[in-house]
Chains A and B, each alone.
Chain A
């Protein structure tokens, strides 16, 4: 058994790849997470977030590459890894037929926690997670939000060093989401490492120390939320429609005129990515005037997550292959 060395990252992915037939769900990703960090995995549906978590727990085998938890290999040392990690899956898969307490006690027994210790941890968790009044209720009768809290309780009953949370607030209403985030922030003070997936930018921003943006199985950026947000504001979009279609030369000319990163032709309009929308609009008017074009529609759009992705996925390309 490897000794815990200081400096061993809590989580480490080395060229981690998972293929399902012809689909590459996770495509050679590498990253590492320090102990005590809250690391966010931000990406759209099908990006490979859940698959990455499953690889760390040996619920699915890597096609190549390695996933390590405190230096332990997820495949070769899967039992040891599982004893120090907890997971809140994307579906609150609690045992509906038995009570809240029975769910927690059963989970604790799977980690080899003795009977007395089980009882006391169960009591603590019921309190922390605000589940005390539902302790004898069948888990199947709990509301969606309460089930999620129970799933979180079950994931930390063995005081894991790393907790994976797969979209912990998806499907919850605003106030339940806030409660869950509050709970997570409280857990954070105990030095536990968190790996959290989400497609909610604000949530990642609020909770995480660092965020990896993942798209189609690849990590396209790893940074602090502040810096990613700066990228996001650079990804503001104005959408403009002229009375005729622009040729490539004109498009290029338009981009060179103002603070534009990129132009993306849409069906009958153009999306212009910019860091400075006001200046950009002036340039558009100027361009229209000098080219004898009429502006039929002009909109400024708030950057969506997708816009940030568009920007991140091809930073260098300026011309729209990306319709």
Chain B
């Protein structure tokens, strides 16, 4: 399956992703700038903030328990489509997912 990351400056990167992986992990393992994931997905750092593309927001689903608390501390603006990318697990239905990256994570 594929995921497309669109950076704040418009740079687009399409990567091959694995079902079951998180979006954060997919970004880091594919060397996509703009996602740090300092805590390795333990929901502890908010350096994996991303915006889910409007068209995909419903399929991905909203923030999970505790996510909004962490996002309160994110470095970039929090929008309704904001998620912690370490908390988005890739399911088959998310093939083709488009993720926008914030300006900064720190």
Tell me if chain B binds chain A: no
